[in-house]
Structure 1
Amino acid sequence: MLAHVRRASILETVRQTGSVQVAEIAGRLAVSEMTIRRDLVDLEREGHLKRLHGGAVALQGIAVDREEPSFDARLSRDRGAKERVAAAALPLVDDARTVALDVGATAFLLAQLLRARVGLHLFTNSLRIAAALSDGAQQVFVPGGRVRGTEMAIGGPDAVAAFAKLWFDVAFLGVSGLTADGLFDYSIEDTEVKRVYLGRSSRKVVLCDASKFQRMSLVRVAGFDTVDTLVTDAMPPPDIQAALDAAGVEVILAPPAASSGA
């Protein structure tokens, strides 16, 4: 198949669905995955799409975050929305005993709401969350591994191996962005632990305020087929909502901020 014919087919798929997967398009066009990857490199260079792990997404309406803001910056940005998302997620802990908390600002706010809960076993790869819970009413567990800088996140093979042996009633995941193609995050190491949470939990919950819709960053964590629930503060855009519906993901909307008017 001629290169221009392949690339036209790739672009048509991206226009129709918003994304393309290397393995899927290679099988459909009966060419190697390496050939498709080279096509994606050329199409990205020409400004037609944005490559990501395992495929590419349409550029229109998608913002790409190339650098990870500090934790304090992320916590202060849209903090009110994050607090409402954390509060809306809190009832999901009611029937749980073993709870996994991912790194991230919204997960940190949820952890603070859990400090008074008795009888919980909380597992986290965030030293910041562990410290916040250290004088709480529950037991807190962290894995061994390498600590990632000011993020205070534990990652690496040891952390993955430690938590991969466990099973959680519910896991709460933070993300840097959400598109119709799934969940994104800044850090490869953090992403490895997120995938353990997704694979080792009865209920997988994503915490994501609306400012992260149509944003992507370095790593695609997973598709929506690995998620049970999204807790957010506004309805997702139509293409993301369609992808959530197709995957059967429950969407829980946090109540709006209380009015300060009379």
Structure 2
Amino acid sequence: MLAAQRQSAILDRVRRTGSVRVAELAAELAVSEMTIRRDLDVLDERGLLSKVHGGATTAGPGATHEPGFAAKSVRQRAEKAAIAARAASLVRPGTAVALSAGTTTAALAGLLRRVPDLTVVTNSIPVADALRPDGSVDPAEPGDVLIDTTAQVVLTGGVRTRSDALVGPVAVTAIGGLHCDVLFLGVHGMSERAGFTTPNLMEAETNRALVAAAGRLVVLADHTKWDTVGISTMAALRDADVLITDSGLPDAARDTLAAEVGELIIVGTT
């Protein structure tokens, strides 16, 4: 098991149980206790958990806590991949697509390299990097032909956040004159009370501009985002034409979201 996979498993265990012990993790993951302690050091430094004597507990972030892109990229990888794959199926050739910042939207960007004649508007540096042309895209299945496709990427300017988003007045001004067919919006949290939220005030303003510029809003949010509330609301639940999430979402949350969003899509993971 790679370190990133092991650390993701540790985080999942902490979120399920609230705390973990080094000895239990070492036995469960078949590695030494020293390896687990190093993993906990890495995760503690990223603010993803709190290391304590003999183990670790949940970090308990507040409404303004904003993990970096690298920290978020190790969370719920399977769920994000499944959500991104379903989102990609909604994109048609020749359309103008907006992608907000986020690890799930970055996963989606890599899949969009297979769709010809796209214009992609984004305020995310990782999204733009994922769409960087290299001449061709490998076939998805045996027998598929190579696809020679390059999306036209419009990367807004702005101030860079910890999550590698470009935000602020420059970004808002750049987005304000654009019109996109659809926006795929990544979120920090979603709740019945607060809607779709972010811990960054400037990012909220920029994402609201993206919402206004798009004809259709598709929100990408794995189940851990439910009942997480950032300091600023980007959109109400009812503003989402489509919400794509995963099968880990609790039944009560499914009922709430199904009553609010235009279409709720639940994807499974492998």
Please say whether Structure 1 and Structure 2 have the same fold, judged by a TM-score greater than 0.5.
yes
- Match runs of 1:239-258 below 5 Å: 240-257=253-270
Higher strand residue share: 1
Q: Distance in 1 between matches of 2:217 and 2:76?
A: 23
CA, structure 1 residues 245+96, in 2 after alignment: closer, same or farther (shift >3 Å)?
farther
Question: Among 116, 121, 124, which residue is 1:123 paired with?
Answer: 121
CA distance 1:110–1:95, shift in 2 (3 Å): same
Alpha-carbon distance, 1:68 to partner:
1.3
Higher deviation after alignment, 222-231 or 105-114 = 222-231
Work out the CA distance in 1 between the residues paired with 2:122 and 2:107.
Answer: 13
| Selected match of 2:101 from 100, 103, 108 | 103
Task: From 154, 160, 163, give the equivalent of 2:166.
Answer: 154
Aligned residues: 195
Partner of 1:227: 240
Report deviation, 1:155: 1.1
Identical residues among aligned pairs (%): 34
Aligned partner (choices 191, 209, 215) of residue 179 of structure 1: 191
Q: Is the 8 A contact 1:104 1:174 kept in 2?
A: yes
What is aligned with 1:166?
Answer: 178
What is the CA deviation profile of residues 51-108 of structure 1, one whole-angstrom value per residue up to 9, with x for unaligned ones?
Answer: xxxxxxxxxxx98554211211111111111111101111111266100000000000
SS across alignment from 2:244:
strand
> 1:164·1:200 contact (CA, 8 Å) conserved in 2?
yes
- 1:206 aligns with one of 219, 228, 232: 219
- Output aligned runs, 1:11-50, within 5 Å: none
Partner of 1:218: 231
Distance 2:94 2:261 in 1: 22
State the distance in 1 between where 2:76 and 2:260 align.
28
Contact 1:170 1:202 in 2 (8 A): yes
1:189 correspondence with 2:199: no
CA contact (8 A) 1:63 1:215 kept: no
SS at match of 1:168: coil
Q: TM-score scaled by structure 1?
A: 0.68
